[in-house]
Amino acid sequence: MNVLVLGSGGREHALAWKLRESQLTDRVLCAPGNAGIAQTAECVPVDLADPAAMFELAERVDAQLTVVGPEAPLVAGVVDEFERGGRKIIGPSKAAASLEGSKIFAKEFMQRHGIPTARFVVAHDHPSALRAISDFGLPVVIKADGLAAGKGVVVARSREEAEKTLDDFVNRTVLGTAGKRLVIEECLFGEELSFIVLAGTRGFVSLVPTQDHKPVFDNDRGPNTGGMGAYSEDTILSEGLREEILHRVVQPTLEGMAEEGTPYRGFLYCGIMLTSGGPKVLEYNVRLGDPETQPIMMRLRSDLVELLMASLEGQLGAVEARWSPNPSVCVVLTSKGYPGRSETGKAITGLEAAEARGGVKIFHAATASQEGQLLTAGGRVLGVTAVAEDLDSAIEKAYGAIGKIHFEGMHYRRDIGAKGVRRLKAAADFRNSDRRAENSPLSQ
């Protein structure tokens, strides 16, 4: 079959790469794609803000399956357009996409259905937002209601930062209409987790857990970004915690959407904070995460096309989702200036040498080709992704590959996966201390 991927980033490169592996795929196209995706799929132009244009493209290339990468086409109603025209597409309807398209809708939905989340207040203007900040104290989380390309959430740690954020969002409208209304909420503490499921017309299947790294600098410092890296490793999540998230978050979300007349189909991303009081939802995304998709696709052993078609045909229970037991890591390389105004047009070298080592795949996020030269074309440029038998080795592979790559102003975090290494070491130390206690003469 012909498969169309909508989008142009690292997530879409990873999807196109995995879809290409399917025995069911004859042709993979990506719109609009990037220079790296062009090595895997046919790249064609399209306006991702125009559902009719995307449907016309699917008609023209006779796409029997379309996979939507970013959130904007979903919020614009591309799934509704395809379904009216009888074309198969993976993603939620425009109404269901409000879980990401409106932070206010998402928070009030969670409140209605008893889904654990941070305490919050909706602010419709600057004065009410200032009052809410005073009520919550510091640090405080300020969220723009609408889509803001990963720049609409600020954790303000000082009154000055909070007031500047409100001024930027509301008075200076740096996010356009997205910041017209705000959610002000308490700051949760703990470890973050990305829990993603594929929901079908009947049932759902969970993907392997991942942990994203949002702040731009090491040790979670600096402004939030779209994601500086992610890793996937099974012990991120215990079986008991997994069941709790399914029971308290995923199932109530899917059931609540169905009860409200907007049944959810497609990938559902639950951003979770593992607090001392249990898992709480930070946000919903109505698509796969980026860069979480890259390590997830590196671990997927099942045929992705089979899984996606099963979700559309109500057969998810009949298709097994198989995963590699090996951990995977993705480190994002960004341009100078990111997440602010980024430098572009810088020559990229060393990719062939970086991928020469087994278990390494480089996914392009913002690249362009000009006269045979690969150039940077945005903020997040590449996702260097590696898989290995243990997390330490996967991290070493990824950073070893990065050592071969160069472009002027290249920036990346040097601690992607470090939280996982610390957690695994703590667990091993605990097990060893238990064994020492058992073998102590005092225990005899």
Consecutive 10-residue averages of pLDDT for the chain (444 residues)? 98 98 97 97 98 98 98 98 98 98 98 98 94 94 91 92 95 93 96 96 95 96 94 95 97 98 98 96 97 98 97 90 97 97 97 95 97 96 98 98 98 97 85 63 55
pLDDT at 181: 95
pLDDT at 438: 63
The set of residues, in sequence order, having a beta carbon less than 8 Å from that of 360 and lying 6+ positions away, is: 354, 384, 385, 386, 397, 398, 401
In this structure, are residues 217 and 413 in contact, taking their beta carbons and an 8 Å threshold?
yes
pLDDT at 97: 98
pLDDT at 126: 93
pLDDT at 440: 58
pLDDT at 435: 62
pLDDT at 15: 98
pLDDT at 149: 80
From residue 274, alpha-carbon distances to 242, 285, 414 in Å are 11, 18, 23
Cis peptide before 32 (omega within 30 of 0): yes
pLDDT at 430: 65
Record the pTM. Answer: 0.94
Domain range 326-444, its CATH number among 3.40.50.450, 3.20.20.140, 3.40.640.10, 3.90.600.10: 3.90.600.10
* Numbered ranges of CATH 3.90.600.10 in the chain: 326-444
* Numbered ranges of CATH 3.40.50.20 in the chain: 2-91
Name the CATH architecture for the domain at 2-91.
Answer: 3-Layer(aba) Sandwich (3.40)
Residues paired with residue 156 on neighbouring β-strands, in sequence order: 140
pLDDT at 436: 60
In this structure, are residues 388 and 326 in contact, taking their beta carbons and an 8 Å threshold?
yes
pLDDT at 444: 55
Q: Is 76 helix (H, G, I), strand (E, B) or coil?
A: helix
